């Protein structure tokens, strides 16, 4: 189900192609509310992502002992940073439990790294535990309301 797909891939680093396939496969889950990117926006970003980097070398010379310290520096350029700011967060709307008729909206933070000209992506769901708890409470209330006189007990099943 949707919940399993998103939670199992939470924080999983994917290549650009893997991420694009994942977004394509789950495009119906992405919710473009309140100015968040749509699945089409996410798909376009994932397939057309190109990071530009400013590269340089910093050097420091110690006059006392003649030592030289060199450091290679690589920073995303302003255009890449501005473009990715649009995709800093996105929303997914998915049911927590299989067969549930209502879903919950979850924020997800998009992360990316570039290394040797290749991009990797992942997302981090924001507090999925709270969404799970709220969905469980809603389902318990629905069951209680439907059963009326029968008590609903919460606990752990233990098999003999």
Q: What percent of the chain has pLDDT over 70?
A: 72
- Which pLDDT band holds residue 61 (cuts at 50, 70, 90)? low
37-41, Cβ contacts within 8 angstroms, sequence gap of 24 or more: 37/86, 37/87, 37/90, 41/86, 41/87
- Which pLDDT band holds residue 54 (cuts at 50, 70, 90)? very low
14: left (phi over 0), alpha (psi -120 to 50) or beta: beta
Q: Where is pLDDT greater, at 148 or 60? A: 148
Rounded Cα gap, residues 18 and 25, in angstroms? 11
Tell which residue, 42, 2, 6, has the closest CA to residue 24. 42
**pLDDT mean across residues, the chain:** 79
Rounded Cα gap, residues 80 and 65, in angstroms? 40
**CB atoms near residue 24 (< 10 Å):** 13
């Amino acid at each position: 189900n949707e919940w399993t797909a998103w939670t199992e891939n939470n924080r999983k680093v994917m290549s650009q192609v893997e991420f694009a396939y994942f977004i394509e496969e789950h495009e119906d889950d992405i919710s473009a509310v309140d100015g968040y990117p749509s699945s089409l926006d996410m798909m376009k970003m994932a397939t057309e992502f190109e990071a530009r980097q400013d590269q340089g070398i910093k050097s420091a010379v110690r006059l006392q002992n003649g030592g030289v310290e060199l450091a290679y520096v690589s920073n995303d350029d302003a255009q890449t940073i501005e473009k990715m700011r649009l995709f800093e967060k996105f929303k997914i709307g998915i049911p927590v439990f299989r067969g549930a008729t209502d879903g919950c909206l979850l924020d997800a933070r998009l992360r990316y790294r570039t290394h040797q000209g290749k991009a990797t992506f992942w997302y981090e769901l924001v507090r999925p535990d709270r969404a799970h708890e709220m969905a469980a409470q809603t389902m318990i209330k629905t069951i209680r309301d439907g059963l009326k006189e029968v008590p609903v007990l919460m606990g752990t099943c233990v098999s003999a």
